[in-house]
């Protein structure tokens, strides 16, 4: 599963214009470190059993998003470039992420933090 997580993280990096610095990890968590025009980023995939269960995105600009996924490949494709989203508030961004294909159904599947503002969806 680690190789599948690496492939999906590389696809997420490519979709977001992120230059990959390194990919590290174990069977339970894989991290992709990279940079783009204005900040450094970290994208993580949490693996449970043989399935990717959660993606997290951190950036130096103060954005943090964590999404529980049921279909990781569909989520990465639906997400596209995260910089295309207009982040007016943490709640509006969490709601947008929660609507994407591949996100797990249920309460609290998405968490977003922008600076001191945070929201669940």
The model's pLDDT over 16-57, given as tens digits with 9 standing for 90+, comes to 889 999 999 888 999 999 998 888 999 999 998 878 999 999
Query: 3-class SS at 43?
Result: strand
Contact in structure between 115 and 107 (CB atoms under 8 Å): no
Flag whether pLDDT at 1 surpasses 60.
Answer: no
Contact in structure between 110 and 66 (CB atoms under 8 Å): yes
The model's pLDDT over 75-99, given as tens digits with 9 standing for 90+, comes to 998 887 666 666 678 898 898 889 9
* Residue 4: per-residue pLDDT: 86
| pTM summary value | 0.86
Domain ranges of the chain: 2-120
Between these two residues, 79 and 9, which has the higher pLDDT value?
9
Helix 72-79, helix 2-15: angle, nearest 10 = 10
């Amino acid at each position: 599963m680690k190789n599948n997580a690496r492939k999906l993280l590389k696809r997420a990096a490519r979709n977001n214009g992120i230059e990959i610095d390194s990919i590290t990890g174990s069977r339970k968590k894989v991290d992709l470190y990279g940079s783009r025009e204005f900040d450094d980023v970290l994208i993580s995939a949490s693996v449970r059993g043989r399935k990717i269960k959660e993606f997290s995105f951190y950036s130096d600009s103060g954005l943090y998003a964590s999404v529980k996924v049921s279909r990781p490949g569909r989520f990465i494709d639906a997400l596209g470039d995260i910089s295309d989203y207009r982040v007016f508030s943490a709640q509006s961004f969490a709601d947008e992420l929660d609507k994407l294909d591949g996100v797990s159904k249920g309460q609290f599947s998405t968490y977003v933090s922008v600076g001191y503002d945070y929201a669940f969806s």
